[in-house]
Amino acid sequence: MQKTNKICSFCGVEASVDVPLIAGNDGQICEACVILANQVVSSWGKKKQLAEMHGPLPKPAEIKQLLDDYIIGQDLAKEILAVAVYNHYKRLKHESSQIGGLGASDDGVEIGKSNILLIGPSGTGKTLLASTLAKIVGVPFVVADATTLTQAGYVGDDVENILVRLLDVADGHIGKAEWGIVYLDEVDKIARSPEQAFGTRDVSGEGVQQALLRLVEGSHVKVPNKGRRKDGNTADSVIVDTRNILFIAGGAFPGLEKHVEKRLVPANTAIGFHREIGRSEQKPDIEVLLNATEPDDLKRFGLIPEFIGRFPVLAPLEPLDVDALIQILTEPKNALVKQYQHLFAYDGVSLEFTPDALVEIAEKAIVRNTGARGLRSIMETILRKAMFELPTREDIEICIVDAEVVKNGAPLRLIEHDQESPLQKQAGAG
């Protein structure tokens, strides 16, 4: 009787010394088909987790419109972010729909990810932009402070702790964490200092940049499991693939505009008869300089070229003026004026702000140079006494904040139940 050669029940390859087959009850399977089946099953799990995270991906115009509900101004940064986030998750959704999820399109083209670097003064909305984007897309989001990171082996947080926190936010689901967004805050603080002594190890500056390279570019990182037991995983550590994690870095980069200005406006060093008479000495606005930022300027600031190359998308944020701060106070869904009006309404008091008072609050924030972040501190100072006294008084119906209250610390105007508000009188007269 002639012996028949065994073949793989899936691809039909014939068994040999180089191609062993795993035998089952009714067939055999080769190693290549086992690997392919594992990739297919993994893609099913990722597609299921993606479906649980969010529905259809919004278009760039829709993302910007949703950002407008929470963040005032910064149209250029919103447009850049909307396009980058849409392209990133469009690629991921397309790859997850491919059989096996091999990361390449039908014609073999593999699309890389584009991480984002936000540049702008403090308090212009960098962190708020990143967190709002994560809510819109519906993926895990974590903020990591770059100033607490140190090079491996030194006191401080290792860069791998960022992934530990991302896994915590994703409830231990590796698939969800691998589709998340990481915001690296204060990246300007890890720039290499020009005063750094030659030959000394910069463990919290350049060392952190070097450690972040592997994480940001995309690699398999071993992360402690820390008691997570999701999906039956009982191992002490898990492997996280960072290739699909979108990294958004942000920083104020104080003094960056000087490097840009030096490149754009060469210094007039000529003296005597050679000096140009009547040459304008007016400096460009900081907004114009930040918009003209190039990778070479970031290199002069102290970022290493390898780190800059991992963030190909630069999104500059413009400084906030008085009009923008007034809009921030009143227009967004979670505007500060609306928040404090709700707090006062819980005690049965209506809180009102005159237009002049809003202007004074905005100007005070500009003087402090804290951006929108400083508005809450100013509001707390203005309303502290009222929030202390009004809960014990039941005769007050309206509390009015005018310019004198903000400018000179005058007492707030309190209107009792049987009195008419001055603002209501002005409305009636108009």
11 belongs to an annotated ligand binding site: yes
One-letter amino acid identity for 165? Answer: R
Q: Tell me: is residue 30 an annotated ligand-binding position.
A: yes
Q: Please tell me whether 250 is known to bind a ligand.
A: no
Q: Is 27 annotated as a binding residue?
A: no
Tell me the β-bridge partners of 250.
118
Say whether 123 counts as a known binding-site residue. yes
**Do 329 and 358 contact (CB within 8 A), yes or no?**
yes
Residue 33, marked binder: yes
* 128 assigned binding-site residue: yes
**Residues of the binding site for Zn(2+):** 8, 11, 30, 33
**Residues of the binding site for ATP:** 121-128
**Residues of the binding site:** 8, 11, 30, 33, 121-128
